[in-house]
Amino acid sequence: MRVSFIKMHGLGNDFVVLDAREEAIPAMTPAIAARIADRRTGIGCDQLIVLEAADNADFRMRIVNADGGEVEACGNATRAVVMLHGAPATIETAAGLLHARPGEYGVTVDMGVPRFGWDDIPLSYAMDTLSMPVGWDGLENPAAVNVGNPHAIFFVPDCDAVPLEDLGPTIEHDPLFPRRVNVNVATIETPTRIRLRVWERGAGLTRACGTGACATAVAAMRRGLVEREVEVVLPGGPLQIAWGEDERIAMTGPATEAYRGTFEWSHFA
């Protein structure tokens, strides 16, 4: 069966988008997803995004990491699918309903209210999630935030100097994080600007991470390091993050369609 796809990215965090609303696609298993995402033998992407019809939303968005694991949230992909939709949208995700709208500066997504409880992250046992009494080879005292998905955030003098390709997988798979974790290393440049690199759960180093930018901005605000509206600069470019008085996070940034194509499903099944 030939399947159509759209290759998209948000600041270089790239996606293979399958629109199953009109054209049904065969069952997506973790193994099939990982084969499609493989950059050498597949199409290649950080995440696979499957759009489905939804009863109480404009559509449902399923997010599958490059390792085949289905996860709750993806900020950059949310902007991408809303750009495809071309109008304000309510999107059903495993983390709940998201609201988003295209605008002059890209797409703005209401990412909802972040959670900070140790069991909301989740962590394996109770601890202060604003400054956790843990460390890994020089990365110490992270914050933890759940923005639909779990994030650990380390504030460091120079995020570019951190060997994230080595420490990322170690922290991602630490038993402290029963659902694993996205690993963020951030440098506060000014009260309105944060530099960020992310090792993503199930995808590795990416050019950008929307949920990572949201989690990092909120953690920095909770620590009094930045204002309530900041620019988060990732390797792929900047995102604007605001944390409103209503406790909801607004993320604004670009999304890009790269190309469209088709592939033979049986090649990956």
Residues annotated within a binding site for substrate:
13, 47, 65, 75-76, 149, 182, 200-201, 210-211
Is 159 catalytic? The answer is no
- Active-site residue, 45 included: no
Residue 144 binding ligand API, by CB under 6 A: no
201 touches ligand API by CB under 6 A = yes
Query: Exposed/middle/buried for 214, CB within 10 Å: 0-12, 13-18, 19+?
Result: buried
What 8-state DSSP symbol labels residue 115?
Answer: B
Q: What are phi and psi of 38, to 5 degrees?
A: -60, 125
Specify the 3-state DSSP secondary structure of 225. coil
Cβ at position 2, least distance to ligand API in Å: 27
Distances (CA, A) of 71 to 61, 95, 128, 132, 209: 11, 9, 25, 24, 14
120-131: buried (b, 16+ CB within 10 Å) or exposed (e) per residue? ebbbeeeeebeb
Map residues 210-249 to x or -, x wherever contact with ligand API holds by CB under 6 A: xx--------------------------------------
CA angle 219, 222, 227 (to 5 degrees): 95
**Least CB distance from residue 244 to ligand API, whole Å?**
19
Least CB distance to ligand API at residue 22 (A): 25
- Under rule CB under 6 A, residue 200 binds ligand API: yes
Binding mask 50-69 for ligand API (x = CB under 6 A): -------------x-x----
- What is the contact surface with ligand API in residues (CB under 6 A)? 13, 46-47, 63, 65, 71, 74-76, 149, 182, 200-203, 209-211
